[in-house]
Structure 1
């Protein structure tokens, strides 16, 4: 995947995550996007020769990034994380912020991307975090 394709998938997943979140939240979600990246452990099990791993990233969180900064940070040696879970975190008058929870394994093989079958490459759209006591069908405010 090229950097341009990765950016295309990030932007597409962002719009899908925004539309999905609108089903649950009262907040007005804008299309000026910001991102938080959360790096997870690589979960090294079995033969990992086909993946690049970066153990030094584990536990690091990067906040308030633009889409281009996300691409620059996650696109490494023509490889990207095998999965990236995206969900709306918060909204302000100016922007909507997403969390990107990223796998610690990087690949250039699209067959390794967890969500490739649905056309979103490595991106898995998740819902916003529901508040304690959430009742089905009732919208809530993001914190």
Structure 2
């Protein structure tokens, strides 16, 4: 199935726009869930100290995951077969860098796709405007979330 670079670019831009909107809605939901008067009166509103609990849980999980990755990489250094596969993979990727990553002119590989997205946005200014609006709304919602989250630092970490 062949797809034009313009169609591919349109789908990428639409996906980016949708992801910005999802993040905006997620951050807004967190803030609204913490401040909604009905939830507050029921004692069911979001407690940002619990959001810190989720962040802490993610950090702990990542901490132990880092040990596992470290152990696998350490074992790779002592396993000739694994080192060979690693070395071949890096060499193969390096010898095909232009095929994979592309060239400065954007005629192949990833740069071809990136140039196509750039060209699409440049020739469709309304799409660029829509994407900019979604990005700025998402950023505003994220800042509002961060303000609430940081407001819970003293009550969380005492």
Alignment TM class, shorter chain as reference: under 0.3
In proportion to residue count, which structure has more helix?
A: 2
Provide the TM-score with structure 1 as the length reference.
0.27
Question: Which structure is higher in strand share?
Answer: 1
Greater C-alpha radius of gyration: 2
TM-score w.r.t. the length of structure 2 is 0.25
